[in-house]
Amino acid sequence: MGKTLIFGHKNPDTDTICSSLAYADLKKKLGADVEAVKLGDVNKETQFALDYFKFEAPEYLPTLEPGTEVILVDHNEFQQSSEGIEAARILEVIDHHRIANFETKEPVYFRAEPVGCTATIIKKMYKENQVDLPENIAGLLLSAIISDSLLLKSPTCTDEDVEAAHDLARIAGVNLEEYGLEMLKAGADLSDKSASELISMDAKEFSMHGAKVEVAQVNTVDVEGTYAIKAELEAAINKVIEEKGLDLFLFVVTDILNNDSDALALGKSADKVEKAFHTNLIENRAFLKGVVSRKKQIVTNLTDAFAE
């Protein structure tokens, strides 16, 4: 048996990468033979955090051999995981998402908590296991919380996340607000992205009462700048809809300064977006006031709309 692989979801974000690296550090200190890997390229925001705290990104995992022992962080739904996950031996899951399309043959250590970020759970696990949290690992965990909570402003952010973030900033020796805004802005620079990159860099697929729905999200400080290539975005989205047989593709452009979103909806079930958010699509776009969380505001409302 080789090393146990620790990884987060496809289209990795900062929580997925940083939680994989941090949990690998903790498991190694507890005597396990583990290695963090990634399922795709790291984004600019994550790269900023890795550079700041002097980490290398994990190795890319191209294929998962059957029977490999794995630990999943920051996801559990198989369609968001590595190809071949069904034939892997899942030892643990550490997550903060809804649970769906997950199955094991044997009992497993599964820890999901309704907090804003996987990193918040991993910080707690250092304490529970009485392992000192290194400064640079604290920096990674802090970056993950800032990312998932949009600097503690998302409705997914719990008191526990806020408390953890302040603790971690102190341990890492950074100013939470200053470091956080700098990191988010690094990730919000979309100027060099093509339409197909924009719609896939943080895309997740969901099954909603039988419908196939993909929700992609980008953070920006310039919403209209992102829509400058609206025609290309629509063409790229329609191509994905056709290839995957999707009922709906929702592309969510989130304004990290004002904490609102402006979404582009395509597919034969685009009317579900109108129903879910009590709004009208104008040229396929809808302004979603106060909406920043895919998990707590978008997926939940859309799932309800598909249930009707």
- The piece of 23-31, 97-105, 184-192, 255-263 that touches its own copies (CB under 8 A) is 97-105
**107 vs 245, which CB is nearer to its own copies?**
107
Other residues' Cβ atoms within 10 Å of the Cβ of residue 134:
16
- The piece of 60-68, 94-102, 177-185, 225-233 that touches its own copies (CB under 8 A) is 94-102
Q: Which of 31, 63, 105, 192 binds its own copies (CB under 8 A)?
A: 105
Q: Which of 2, 60, 99, 135 binds its own copies (CB under 8 A)?
A: 99
**8 vs 187, which CB is nearer to its own copies?**
8
- H/E element, 244: helix 230-244
| Residues in 124-143 that interact with its own copies by CB under 8 A | 128
285 scored as a contact of its own copies (CB under 8 A): no
Torsion-angle region of 283 (φ positive above 0: left; ψ -120 to 50: alpha; else: beta): left
For residues 56 and 141, what is the distance between their CA atoms, to the nearest angstrom? 15
For residues 220 and 231, what is the distance between their CA atoms, to the nearest angstrom? 19
**209 vs 268, which CB is nearer to its own copies?**
209
Q: Torsions phi, psi of 116, nearest 5?
A: -80, -10
Q: Which residues are annotated as a binding site?
A: 9, 13, 15, 74, 96, 148
Task: For residue 81, give every residue at least 6 positions away whose Cβ sits within 8 Å of its Cβ, in sequence order, or none.
Answer: 7, 9, 10, 39, 72, 75
**54 vs 105, which CB is nearer to its own copies?**
105
For residues 197 and 203, what is the distance between their CA atoms, to the nearest angstrom? 10
Q: Which of 44, 166, 185, 295 binds its own copies (CB under 8 A)?
A: 295
Tell me which residue of 252, 264, 249 sits closest to 219, measured CA to CA.
Answer: 252
Q: Which of 89, 111, 166, 193 binds its own copies (CB under 8 A)?
A: 111
The shares of helix, strand and coil residues in the chain, as percent rounded to the nearest 5, are 45, 20, 35
30 scored as a contact of its own copies (CB under 8 A): no
Task: For residue 113, give every residue at least 6 positions away whose Cβ sits within 8 Å of its Cβ, in sequence order, or none.
Answer: 96, 120, 121
80 scored as a contact of its own copies (CB under 8 A): no
Q: Which residues are annotated as a binding site for Mn(2+)?
A: 9, 13, 15, 74, 96, 148
Tell me which residue of 202, 19, 269, 4 sits closest to 125, measured CA to CA.
Answer: 19
**96 vs 123, which CB is nearer to its own copies?**
96
The least distance separating its own copies from the CB of residue 31, rounded to whole angstroms, comes to 15
* Contact yes or no for 164/172 (Cβ under 8 A): no
For residues 269 and 246, what is the distance between their CA atoms, to the nearest angstrom? 9
303 scored as a contact of its own copies (CB under 8 A): yes
**111 vs 185, which CB is nearer to its own copies?**
111
Total residues in contact with its own copies, by rule CB under 8 A: 26
Q: Which of 44, 89, 98, 166 binds its own copies (CB under 8 A)?
A: 98
* Interface positions with its own copies (CB under 8 A): 96-115, 128, 295-296, 299-300, 303
